[in-house]
Every structure is written in structure tokens, then in C-alpha cells.
Structure 1
Amino acid sequence: MSRAYNFNAGPAALPDEVLEKAQKEMLDFNHTGMSVMELSHRSTDYEQVHNQAQERLRTLLDIPEDYEVLLLQGGASLQFSMLPMNVLQSGETANYILTGSWSEKALKEAQMIGQTRVGASAKDQNFTHIPDVDALQLDSRDKYVHITTNNTIFGTQWQELDYNWLSPVVADMSSDILSRPVPVSSFGAIYAGAQKNLGPSGVTVVIVKKEWVSQAPGHTPTMLRYDTHAEKNSLFHTPPTFAVYLLNEVLGWVEERGGVLGMQQRNKEKAAMLYDTIDGSGGFYRGHAETDSRSSMNVTFNLPTEELNKQFLAEAKQAGFVGLNGHRSVGGCRASIYNAVSKESCQALQDFMLTFQKNHQ
């Protein structure tokens, strides 16, 4: 069976090697005679997987000891409200930098919890760029400044992550975590749904300073408290065991390929293939994001007419490419090239783009 060229935005491509190993172990994990999905989450066999995933995250991202690593559920969308529930105290204000739809949704949820303000927004230009850091409206009284490091819909990405702002930074890194080094100590909290760069949907990684873990007001529901999960090693209730198993295997796959630095180099090469094609097309392909804000994870572009957009997507589908439709907010096309997307897939897409231009210009 041939594998599709998978450019889906999420759930997204997983490494072939990880899927093949999961297939082999599906009926008998670690000589238990059971699938990992059938194991008790209290068993030694599962706890080894669970703990190894946390330790691999600590090693790959160089997470300091004064941070908790939680494996939760509910996706990044639950963290939009769970984070302010746990961190934002009465009378405090959270600052949100708006760079796309997901940061807007994060702000909307936080507004239901406490006081918020907007330190910058790129909405007036349809989120084609990341706001100038020097122009951000920051205040030392802000409890935290929230950013979305990569914007899947618009194809923009914060280029620098080593912040020395007036307040702790909180980041939704769902679509670029593990794609490049992260100075974790510069952040108060980082959260990421797994289904783009970490593994399958179903598990969410939360990295949060320990001093923030026990700040939730007493009326916060048990399941929505960080300390509930920290105290029980993210085993307070049944975790998504198969998702954690695949997360652990993806982390091992990253380790074997040079860790985060290896992924960064790989991703630069993949992105260059597509952006060079766009830039060298003489305007036939038109990138949505401004050059200095381009994402290395989501390449967004349009063709000269809507008719050509549709024809491009139709012919690409026939050629075995999946997930190239742009989001309705931007239209056109989008190639999501997360860690597990191979250089061979990007090369095939580049060749297709060049041929399509030659045949339709």
C-alpha cells in the first residue's frame, strides 16, 4: 500500500516508523499479551511508558526542574480557560497578543475568567504578520502575556522565543513544539495539543512553573486544577493511554534524529523547498504571510485566480496529495509540514508546483 503525501493541518502526519512499531505491538505490548490500550493505567507496564514520555520531553526541551510536565486531555482549547482558571487571580490582568484565530479564541475564554487586555493585534491586516516586539503594549502589572507561537491558518510564526518581557510569557505551541529549541525558562507556561507535532489527538502537554500550579482559587473544579494532576503524576483519572504511548514513540523518533536541533535543520530544509518555489514563481504563487513572519510549519499561498486555486487542488488530489486546502479564512492552499512530514513529500510537492505552473501559466 502506498502512503499519501499527507499535508493535513491536524490531526497530521505521524512517522512511518512509529506507526509500524505500533502496528507490531498492537496485540502484544511488552510481552503482556495485551494491547497498550487494554492495560490498566495503574500497571507497571503503562506507568513506564507514561514516565518515559515525561522524561523524554524534559530532556528534548531541556525543561528545568522547577516546571511540572503534565499530560492532560481536552486539547489546547481547554487550556484557553484552564490556564486563567489556575493562574489569573482576582484583580490581575492577562495580556493577549492576537496573531490569528486561535489566539482570539484563547482571549475569548480568558475574558470569561478574569480581566484581560490586548497588547497587540495583526487582525487589521488579516494576520499576515507577527506584531513588532518593540511595539507591543506591555505592563509589568500583567500577570502574563499570552502568545500563539505558530499560526496554522495564516502561516505565520514568532521567529524569536527568548523573551525578556516585563511579565511571564505563556505560549500555545500546539503547532510548532519540538520543531526548534525552546528556552523554557523564559515562559511561565507552555501548552500544546499533540496532534500536529507530538503524536495523535487525545493528549495535551502542559509545561508550567511549579509556583503557578497551586494558585487556583478554592472553587475551581477538581479536574480543572493543575495541582490535581501534578500531585498524581497526571494519573488522577484514566489518561488517554494509547495517545501517550504514541507520544512517547514520537519523542523517541525525534531523539534518534538529532533531537530538536535535528528537527530544526530538517524543517528549515523542507520549508525552503516550498518558499523558494513560491518566491521564484514570478507571482504565480503568492504567499499569505509576510516574509519575516513566515512559518516553518504551515506554508500558505494562493494562485492568481480562484479558478486556478481549485484546479491546483483538484490535480494535487489526483496526484496523491492530501490536506492542501487552505482554511476558509485565507482560502487558497496550505501545506502543513510538521516534523513527521518527510523531505521526500516536500520535494514531491515542489515538483508538482513547478509542473503545474509550467502547464498553466
Structure 2
Amino acid sequence: MVNRSDVHYFGAGPAPLPTAVLERASQVLLNYKDKGIGLCEISHRSPDANDILADAKQALTTLLDIPDDYEILFLQSGGSGEFSATVYNLVSIWVEKKRAKIAEEVGDDKAEVLKRLRKAVDEELKLDYLVTGSWSLKASQEATRLVGAQHVNVALDARKANGGKFGTIPPESEWNLTPRKSGGGPALVYFCDNETVDGVEFPAFPHSLEGEDAPLVCADMSSNFISRKVDVPKYAVIFGGAQKNIGNTGIAIVILRKSLLPPASMPASPDLLRELNLPVGPIILDYPTIAKNNSLYNTLPIFDVWVASQVMTGLVNAYGVKRIGGQEEISNDKARQIYETLDRYPEIYRVVPDKAVRSRMNICFRVHGGDAEKEKAFLAGAEKRGLLGLKGHRSVGGIRASNYNAVSLSGAKSLVAYLEDYAKAA
């Protein structure tokens, strides 16, 4: 029998979880707090469920130093569901703000308000997308499906600067962002902070999205959540699926600026959106509804939240005043060791993305120039050493070592040793 301690798993998601968390999970699944029933069986309306939610929020707040003017939501949509949710919610806010401004100008003439609002939507409504990999591409495609291509501005398609493939992030001077002006600008600017499939990560927050008139920035952090420091106030919405660094499959986490919630911001009414031929989102993706109900509008999988809370609390306890900076140091060290080894043998290994935007979380490379048989042999040799989950995404092939938080330093060193041995024997 193969023991858990005999292997190191580098799969991109669902990803490994800390063994100590899984051991506690096996206990609470059977009997939570000596109640005689398991955690999956308790009511999501119970005091215990509310305590779990509060603990998870507090741990994430501590790790990322989230300000008081932000709300944390838990939803069952996954990261892909948030592609839709951000569009539904922020377009609705944009429309209502535009309606209110027009109403101030024309008074109670509802027909005139609607006429001008239709014109504003047709001519001004834009959603900006920075497409740097497979997931940001999917997000832009979902926005196009929901609101129409005329409202979606792909401000950056990184493939155009890289021979039709992802792997670079062109300089910001080449981005075609919707102009920001007083009372105008895009409804949102979306980017994926770390592209799981393509191994591309933004090295820092884009300078062009900063400033007093900064747009509403939505960032998908599914695969690098709680792996490095985040300047939260620069973002309107941060979201991510839990199944990479935070927990198991089943929930998405949203960090949302409270000024986007009532009474500070009001969404357009469903009737108005229908009159404007804009989509009305499902209630379970409606941020005001989820926030008002403490993420418990519908039956939330509390076990999944408990796992996330355990993982995040473990990091809080491990790093103390360093907060997420402690994990960032380890993540950087693991990635550095792996990349340095790959770069040491350029005749054997080729890292796919440009060096300036290499992901610390998803290390994508080819073996012997992408020779299919040799890459198959490489993977087989890795499995013999207990190094699992290294096969690249089916859409791009190659090798991918996902360096998530639960991959230990010893796991990274084991991979480095195999890379060294393989290269020397090749």
C-alpha cells in the first residue's frame, strides 16, 4: 500500500491539502464537537455554522490584512461562476448609476430617461478584459455571451505578441483600455492574476489601473490565493475557487468592496435591465443578496468552509505577524529552486512562459522540445519516485508542476532532485 507520506502531488486542482487538516476532517465528518452527528449533517442555519463562517472570514482578513470596508462572501459558483457574477453585478451597478445621473438632468420624464439610458448603454457600456491565458479568455467569452461583443473590450490579447500563444504580458503602454473620465469609464476591468493552464502570473498590480479615477478592478486569484501579499484596497472584487490553495472543491470566495453594496450602490431593477436587453443574473450570484444573508441565502456547504477555515487558520498560526508574507517567502523559495534547476539544463528543459511573468504557482515546461514519447517517459519516471500530477493541461500538453501551499519544501526538493537526475541521465 502506498502511504500519503510516500508521494508528493503537484496536480493543478483539486490540489493537495495539509495532511493535518484532512486528519481533523475525517474526525469531524463522523462526529462534530461530540454532537453525535457529522459536520456535513449540521444545519447551515445553526450557531455552529455561523461560527465556522466567522472563523473563516477572520482568518482570511488576518492573512491578507483586509480592511473593514470590504465584505467576504462564500458562494457555490466556483471561479467560473464568478466570471458571470462579476458581469451581472457590476453591469447592474453601472446601469443604475447612469440612470440616476440622467434622471437628475431630465427630472421625472421616465420616457426620456429610458431613451437616454438606452443610448448610453449602446454607446458607452464597456467591460475591459486583459486576456493573458486560458482562464481570462474564458472570462471574456462569458462576458461576451452575456452582454454581447459590442460591450466587451479585449484591451489586451497576449497571444498577439507571442506568435498566437500565451506566455507573455506585453507592456501596459500597449494595452487598449477604455478611457477613464469623470462619470464614465468601463463597468469593470478584469484580469486573471495567475493563469493555471499557461503558467503566467502578473508580477505586480498594473500601474495603469491605479489612481483616483481607478476603474472597478476584478481579479481572479483562484490559483494564487493566500500565496503572496495582496494590496486589497486596489481591487473592487477579488474572487477565486477554493480548490487550489485554500480548500477542497465546492466553494468560491469573494472579497468585495462594501461601497458596491446597498445602500452605497444600488443595482438596476430586473425590469429595467430587461428593457435594456441586458441579462438578469440568478439570485444565488447576486452579491447584495448573498451579503445580506451572511452567505447563507441558500444551503452553503459548511464542511467546505470549515476546511478552508482550517487551512487559513493554520497559516495564521504558523506565520504570526508575518501573516501571508511568511507563506510568500516559502512559495518564492520553492519556485526559485525549481526554475533554477530547469534553467540549468536548457538542452533538456524549456520553460514555456517568458521569464518576467513566470508563475510561482504553476510551473509549465517542456522536455526535449516537447517530444511526446520523451515527455511520457519523464512522467513515468516521476511517478516511480512518487512525484504525481505533473502532466500539463490537456489543451497545451507538456509538464506542469503546481507549486501550491500544501506542496512542502521537501516535495519541491524531491522534484528538483528528479529534474537533476533526469537531465544528467538524458
Short-chain TM bin: over 0.9
User: Counterpart of 1:96?
Assistant: 129
1:208 paired residue among 231, 256, 259: 256
1:354 matched to 2:420? The reply is yes
2:199 paired residue among 133, 136, 155: 155
Answer yes or no: is the 8 Å Cα contact 2:241–2:251 preserved in 1.
yes
Question: Cα deviations across residues 181-231 of structure 1 (Å, max 9, x unaligned)?
Answer: 101100010110000011001010011112223443322332221111100
* DSSP-derived class of the 1:200 partner: coil
Which amino acid in the other structure matches residue 9 of structure 1?
Answer: A
TM-fit CA distance, 1:286? 0.5
Range with greater deviation from structure 2 (160-169 or 29-38) = 160-169
Which amino acid in the other structure matches residue 300 of structure 2?
Answer: P
Q: Distance in 2 between matches of 1:223 and 1:46?
A: 19
User: Counterpart of 2:275?
Assistant: none
User: Counterpart of 1:272?
Assistant: 336
Answer yes or no: is the 8 Å Cα contact 2:86–2:218 preserved in 1.
no
TM-fit CA distance, 1:23? 2.1
Q: 5 Å matches for 1:24-39?
A: 24-39=27-42
Q: Structure 2: which 5+ runs fail to align? A: 96-120, 271-279
1:86 matched to 2:84? The reply is no
Q: Distance in 1 between matches of 2:285 and 2:419?
A: 46
User: Counterpart of 1:218?
Assistant: 269
User: How many residues are matched?
Assistant: 360
Answer yes or no: is the 8 Å Cα contact 1:85–1:216 preserved in 2.
no
User: Counterpart of 2:99?
Assistant: none
* DSSP-derived class of the 1:26 partner: helix
Which amino acid in the other structure matches residue 187 of structure 1?
Answer: Y
User: Counterpart of 1:338?
Assistant: 404
Q: Distance in 1 between matches of 2:314 and 2:330?
A: 14
User: Counterpart of 2:167?
Assistant: 128
Q: Distance in 1 between matches of 2:304 and 2:169?
A: 32
TM-fit CA distance, 1:74? 1.4
TM-score by length of 2: 0.82
Q: Distance in 2 between matches of 1:137 and 1:355?
A: 46
Higher helix proportion (structure 1 or 2): 2
Q: Distance in 1 between matches of 2:258 and 2:142?
A: 23
Q: Distance in 1 between matches of 2:341 and 2:225?
A: 26
Q: Distance in 2 between matches of 1:31 and 1:195?
A: 28
Q: Structure 1: which 5+ runs fail to align? A: none
User: Counterpart of 2:303?
Assistant: 242
Q: Are the structure 2 counterparts of residues 113 and 17 from structure 1 closer, same or farther at C-alpha, using a change threshold of 3 Å?
A: same
User: Counterpart of 2:101?
Assistant: none
Q: Distance in 1 between matches of 2:146 and 2:32?
A: 43
* DSSP-derived class of the 1:301 partner: strand
* DSSP-derived class of the 1:257 partner: helix
Answer yes or no: is the 8 Å Cα contact 1:216–1:225 preserved in 2.
no
TM-fit CA distance, 1:162? 6.5
TM-fit CA distance, 1:113? 3.0
* DSSP-derived class of the 2:146 partner: coil
Q: Which has the larger radius of gyration?
A: 2
Which amino acid in the other structure matches residue 132 of structure 1?
Answer: P
Q: Distance in 1 between matches of 2:366 and 2:248?
A: 29
Q: Distance in 1 between matches of 2:169 and 2:295?
A: 34
% identity of equivalent residues: 36
Range with greater deviation from structure 2 (319-328 or 96-105) = 319-328
Answer yes or no: is the 8 Å Cα contact 2:168–2:353 preserved in 1.
yes
1:263 matched to 2:334? The reply is no
Q: Distance in 2 between matches of 1:212 and 1:108?
A: 24
Answer yes or no: is the 8 Å Cα contact 1:271–1:296 preserved in 2.
yes
